[in-house]
């Protein structure tokens, strides 16, 4: 990102464009779904079920993958039906997904009930957990890290750090395992998007456990501890999906300097965090820092009012 790097006066900023990964406007879930949907097909399933927020990118990409493969798709979405659908929800409907509204249970608490109902109707179901973050989903990101490492070697670039949004943990677990597979020294910095849920293990422990399950599954020798997981939790603001100045400014700066659209919930927050960290001189001016764009732009449309207002003010 030459223009942005010049504008900020260093370091060298690069971008990995998973927003261009296909499956109905792209995103990081394409990498996870490559493995998960292959497993669904291998198990002769005819219906996939997954869960997320009403504006879930994971759900929209799962709906697209299911449509492309001729499977039915059931989505357990948090909240209740809005008056008008837009953003990812509209796309879910266009892609033919069946929506099950689950109130404040946006993280897959309703999946088992839906599975039971579909099974009782004779369907062979495949349940994908919240965010697609299980071993197979994380494997997609291990492969992604190996892919990026090969691209960097080919281009003769030595990356110092990779910054990305971390929410259900599959991306970060996969990246850390992929880093071992690629024998890379790059620093991985996840920016947390959600706050801890009461009663859950720490997010670092959840990612560690997933990365270790993956390492075991693919016969890697490396194992990880929570100390290996680098996460910055200082940018969760007013909570998941609540857009503030940090996200608005980040979305606008990226759009107007590089012509690239971030999303308001994940990449806007993670890139806003990176901008703040750059301002605090957390990276050397000669370092190469990669921002992993994990997609999500369709959600821009469900935040139209607040985003348009910030453009008018600027």
Ligand X SMILES: Cc1ncc(COP(=O)(O)O)c(C=O)c1O
Encoded tokens for 312: 């008018």
Helix H or strand E encompassing 36: helix 29-42
Classify burial at 225, counting beta carbons within 10 Å of its beta carbon; exposed 0-12, middle 13-18, buried 19 or more: exposed
Residue with smaller CB distance to ligand X, 28 or 72: 28
168 catalytically annotated: no
Q: How far is the CB of 82 from ligand X (least distance, A)?
A: 19
Catalytic residue among 5, 21, 56, 302: 56
Q: How far is the CB of 156 from ligand X (least distance, A)?
A: 28
Question: Where does this chain bind ligand X (CB under 6 A)?
Answer: 27-28, 57-58, 131, 133, 165-172, 263, 266-267, 294-296
Q: How far is the CB of 117 from ligand X (least distance, A)?
A: 25
Q: How far apart are CA 126 and CA 153, in angstroms?
A: 38
Q: How far is the CB of 206 from ligand X (least distance, A)?
A: 10
- Count of helix runs (H) and strand runs (E) in the chain: 11, 9
Residue with smaller CB distance to ligand X, 10 or 226: 226
Residue with smaller CB distance to ligand X, 168 or 180: 168
Which stretches of 202-304 are assigned E, i.e. beta strand? 231-232, 288-293
Q: How far apart are CA 275 and CA 272, in angstroms?
A: 5
Cα three-residue angle 271-232-282, rounded to 5 degrees = 70
Distances from the Cα of 269 to the Cα of 9, 59, 166, 276, 293, angstroms: 21, 20, 10, 11, 11
Encoded tokens for 47: 């219906």
Residue with smaller CB distance to ligand X, 74 or 293: 293
Q: How far apart are CA 164 and CA 72, in angstroms?
A: 31
Residue with smaller CB distance to ligand X, 172 or 180: 172
Q: How far is the CB of 56 from ligand X (least distance, A)?
A: 7
Q: How far apart are CA 172 and CA 258, in angstroms?
A: 25
Residue with smaller CB distance to ligand X, 118 or 292: 292
Q: Is-contact 208 226, C-beta < 8 A?
A: yes
Q: How far is the CB of 169 from ligand X (least distance, A)?
A: 5
Classify burial at 8, counting beta carbons within 10 Å of its beta carbon; exposed 0-12, middle 13-18, buried 19 or more: middle
**What residues are labeled active site?**
56
């Amino acid at each position: 990102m030459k223009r942005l790097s010049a504008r900020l006066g260093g370091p060298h900023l690069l971008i990995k464009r998973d927003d261009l990964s296909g499956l109905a406007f792209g995103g990081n879930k394409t990498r996870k779904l490559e493995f998960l949907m292959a497993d669904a097909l291998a198990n002769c399933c005819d219906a996939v079920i997954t869960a997320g927020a009403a504006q879930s990118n994971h759900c929209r990409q799962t709906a697209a993958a299911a449509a492309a493969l001729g499977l039915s798709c059931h989505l357990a979405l948090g909240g209740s039906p809005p008056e008008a659908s837009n953003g990812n929800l509209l796309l879910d409907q266009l892609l033919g997904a069946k929506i099950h509204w689950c109130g404040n249970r946006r993280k897959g608490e309703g999946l088992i009930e839906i599975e039971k109902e579909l099974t009782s109707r004779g369907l062979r179901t495949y349940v994908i957990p919240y965010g697609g973050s299980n071993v197979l989903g994380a494997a997609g990101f291990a492969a992604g890290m190996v892919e990026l490492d090969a691209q960097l070697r080919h281009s003769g670039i030595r990356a110092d750090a990779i910054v990305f949004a971390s929410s259900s943990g599959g991306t970060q677990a996969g990246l850390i395992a992929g880093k071992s597979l690629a024998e890379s020294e790059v620093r991985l910095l996840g920016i947390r998007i959600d706050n801890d849920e009461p009663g859950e293990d720490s997010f670092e422990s959840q990612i560690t456990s997933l990365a270790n399950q993956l390492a075991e599954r693919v016969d890697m020798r490396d194992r990880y501890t929570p100390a290996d997981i680098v996460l910055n939790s200082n940018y969760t603001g007013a909570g998941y999906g609540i857009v503030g100045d940090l996200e608005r400014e980040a979305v606008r700066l990226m759009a107007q300097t590089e012509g690239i659209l971030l999303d308001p919930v994940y990449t806007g927050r993670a890139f806003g965090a990176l901008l703040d960290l750059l301002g605090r001189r957390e990276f050397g001016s000669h370092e190469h820092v990669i921002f992993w764009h994990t997609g999500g732009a369709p959600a821009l449309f469900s935040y139209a009012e607040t985003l348009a207002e910030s453009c008018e003010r600027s």
